[in-house]
Each structure stands twice: as C-alpha cells, then as structure tokens.
Structure 1
C-alpha cells in the first residue's frame, strides 16, 4: 500500500507543468556540486555594454535576463514553440530581438553581426557561428556531455542505448571548433555530482530531460523507482554524475 501511495505522488510529479527552462520547483529537492568555472563570470569577462550579443537556444529567456546586458544590443534564438511564445511575451517588450529557428545550420541574421555569441547547453553549427561572428568575435559555450547521468539512465531505461557514446565531449568539440577557424582561449571539463533528495524530484527531472531518459514514465520504470526509493530511505538521496564542459573560442581575423 505504501508504494501505491508513492506511485500516486510520483504520477502527480510526472504531470507537473514545466515552463521555459526553470527548475525552481525542485530547487530545494536536489543539489549539485559546483563547476570548476563560473559561466556567468566568464561571459561578463568578455562582454562590454557595446557588445552585440546573441544567446543561442535561450529557452524561456530566464538565464539571459540575469546577464543584464543592454536590451538593445541583445538578440536571442529559440526553436521550441512554447518557449518561443514565452520569449515573445517576456523578452520582446523589453527590446530584445528574439527569433525562432528551425535548423542549426541557418540562423536568420546577417554575416559578421555579433561580437559575442553565447550558448548554454544548446546545439550549434560552427559554420553558422563563424558566419555570424565579427572578426575576432567570441563564441562561449557550456555544454552537457554524453556521460551526463549515464549510470542513472542505464538503471532506469531498460533499453538504454549507448550509440552516441564518446562523441559529445570536450576533446571532440575542441577539434571541431579549431577546424572551423577558431583559436581556443579557454576550455575545461567537469563531472560534478548531482543528488536528488526524493524520488519525486527525479521523476519531474527525468520527464523533462526526455532526450536523456527516452520513454521514461512512472508506469514503465516503477520497479526501478521503488529501488531508488529504498536508497533514498537509507542514504537520504540518489546520486548521479553529471558531465559539463565549457569553451571560449575566438574567430580568426583573416587578412586578405
């Protein structure tokens, strides 16, 4: 009976509405080790008030607004329709230019338009990044690597697929970025631990991060969730290893 009550609770967590890219709902129910770097400080280090800034894959614009860059010098892209609609309500009235994109290999901006392009955990095409940056412009990206939550994913998802293993990591991205005509100014990689203090928070998280936990549901993963519940009762948390890397790259100023 206890697990049936837990299942009702987990099902309710699975149905919670998620808007933008805001995990504050479970903010006090999970914890993360800090990274070796501070992404926001890194961005501010290279930004001036006059910089023309593009935020790729801005989500709901929540993080972009925390940077407090002059709105008239700020542009953003977003692909996911609900987030794009949210950005039009939140960002456009402020004077931030938000454009919906459908493919990484075409972003609707002019050549050599931006001083700084930032990308926090969104996909990108380096040919487009190169095209859009001014000479000596900067690309700053923090990415989620392919090892993120790997053991937890393997435990929860019975048909866990590792076909993309060893692809999205710091080394491979550095090789790619350098091959496109950039010089690397900074690079780092980290594997911080993340703890979920209750299984309901994990359910909420896994349902949202569907590309990491494909086909996840309380019903299909119920037995595994019950095992995780036992771990929480014994240790007070379920732990998972994350994978992050950050790169600051500068476009070469080619002189003909």
Structure 2
C-alpha cells in the first residue's frame, strides 16, 4: 500500500466519532493486560443500597448502570458535552441526577451531600471531594497514572513531555492524608497495552488527547510509518499503562 493510501486510511480512523467511553470501534484490534484488582468488586464491598452515591466523570453512564444502585440515590457529573447530552437522555429519565462539571475544583453539589464518591479515570480535587463527602464517607478512585502510555507517546510525538509526571499512588496518598482522609486500600500497577494495527493506535491517540498532545496523522505521519516496522516484526505495537487505586475514608 502506498504512503498516500496509508495516510488516507489513518486519517479516516482519526476522524471517526467517539461517544461515551466506549472503544467498540477498535474491539479486537487492541489488547490491555488485566490489572490485578477488580474495580467493581471493590466498589461493591463499600456501597450500601441506602448510600447517596456520586459517580464522577461517568462518561455515558455505561459502567455506573452495572452497579444497579437505586437511581433515586444516584448522581453523576460529566464534563464532555456530547456525553452530558447522552447522560441527560439516558440517565435522567431513570431518576439519576445529571450535572455538568466545568472545573475540578467546583463540583456542582452541596457540601456533605454524599456517603460515597466513586471515580474511575477522572481528574479530581481532594479539597472538593472532602467538601461534598459526609463525615465517614468513602472516596474510591481508580486512576490512570502520570506514566500511562508515555512510551507510546514518545514514539509518536517528537519532544514529548508528560503532562502529569507526579500523578501517582504515592503523591495522591500524601494529598489525601493531608486533607484528613484515612487510607483503607491502595495499589499500583503497570500493565502492558498492545495495538494490532496502526489505525487502532491512531484512533486511540486522537481520543486520549491529554496523553498524546497535538497528535494528528499529518504531524506524526513519519513516526507512524516507523511504527509499521515494529508492527511487522512483532505483530503488535506495545506500550505501558499506569493504574492505581485508592479507597479513602473521610475523617473530617
């Protein structure tokens, strides 16, 4: 396949629309090594049916609905406008409260509103979590760490510098302890990620803008072509993810 045809195909992937937090478009074209804990299982250890629950950065609400928490006690935040609209169409009719967030340091809910705040891969302000949680309430978060996919970003983007190099388990525990939380559970891992075609990597890189800043097929075309050699030799493009989980209890 000539270079112009390659670029055309990759740009098609780059322009493919993305909604919710669903990577169905590249299903079976990529693989992520499992992490050693089950986020949902951990949540269910702490969530009681009577709890007022907030899911931060719910995406399209796909994961939240699998928890089967009483809708009348469930609230969500979401920042990405297309997802906010999706939530209003899908979650609001169920009785789930949906509010758009514009700033991590300003969650649009009252002080002491929630028994439990859950957060999977969403930015947060420890001060705001402390404010909206009731005393004795739980904050449970699984985070994408600051080293996530850095090796892939370096392969694609010349002069790449990570945006959040200090976003790791150790530093977040320090922040939570400083703000009066007790750490109940914590863990950190660096699973492998693989892409089985360049187009899948292009799609992924365009979606995860904060990890691949200024990525485009045009600006990174030379490096994308270099990765074709790795793909041919290994059968996949490899990278390293970064995840950590914290269960913390408010002691204010």
**TM-score, normalised on structure 1?**
0.95
d(CA) in 2 for partners of 1:153, 1:108: 34
Looking at structure 2, the residues matched to 27 and 113 of structure 1 have their Cα atoms a distance apart, in angstroms, of 38
Aligned-partner SS, 1:159? coil
Q: CA deviation at 1:152?
A: 1.1
1:73-122 CA-to-partner distances (Å, cap 9, x unmatched) read 11001112121111101110111000111122222222222111001111
Aligned to 2:191: 192
Per-residue Cα deviation, 1:32-87 (whole angstroms, up to 9, x for no partner): 11111110111111112111110011112122112221111110011121211111
SS at match of 1:246: strand
In structure 2, distance between residues paired with 1:40 and 1:33: 17
1:204 aligns with 2:233: no
> 1: CA distance between counterparts of 2:119 and 2:86?
19
Partners of 2:163 and 2:71 lie apart in 1 by 41
Cα shift at 1:4? 2.6
Shift of 1:148: 0.6
Q: Distance in 2 between matches of 1:50 and 1:70?
A: 8
Aligned residue number for residue 21 of structure 1: 21
Please give the alpha-carbon distance, in whole angstroms, between the structure 1 residues aligned to 2:164 and 2:137.
31
Q: CA deviation at 1:164?
A: 3.8
Aligned to 2:140: 140
Deviation at 1:163, TM superposition (A): 6.1
The range that moved more, 84-93 or 105-114, is: 105-114
1:1-256, aligned counterparts within 5 Å?
A: 1-162=1-162, 164-165=164-165, 167-252=166-251, 254=252
CA-based RMSD = 1.2
> Residue 146 of structure 2 contacts residue 163 of structure 2 at CA under 8 Å; is this kept in 1?
no
Extract unaligned runs of 5+ from structure 1. none
CA distance in 2, matches of 1:92, 1:122: 21
Range moving further from structure 2, 233-242 or 106-115: 106-115
How far off its partner does 1:162 sit? 4.0
TM-score (norm 2): 0.96
Change (3 A) 1:94 1:194: same
| Residue 3 (structure 1) shift | 3.0
2:146·2:164 contact (CA, 8 Å) conserved in 1? yes
Q: Kindly tell me: are residues 5 and 19 of structure 1, through their superposed partners in 2, closer, same or farther at Cα, counting changes over 3 Å?
A: same
SS of alignment partner, residue 239 of structure 1: strand
Distance 1:164-1:51 versus aligned 2 partners, 3 A rule: closer
Aligned residues: 252
- C-alpha distance in structure 2 between counterparts of 1:67 and 1:207, whole Å: 30
Q: Give SS of 1:185's match.
A: strand
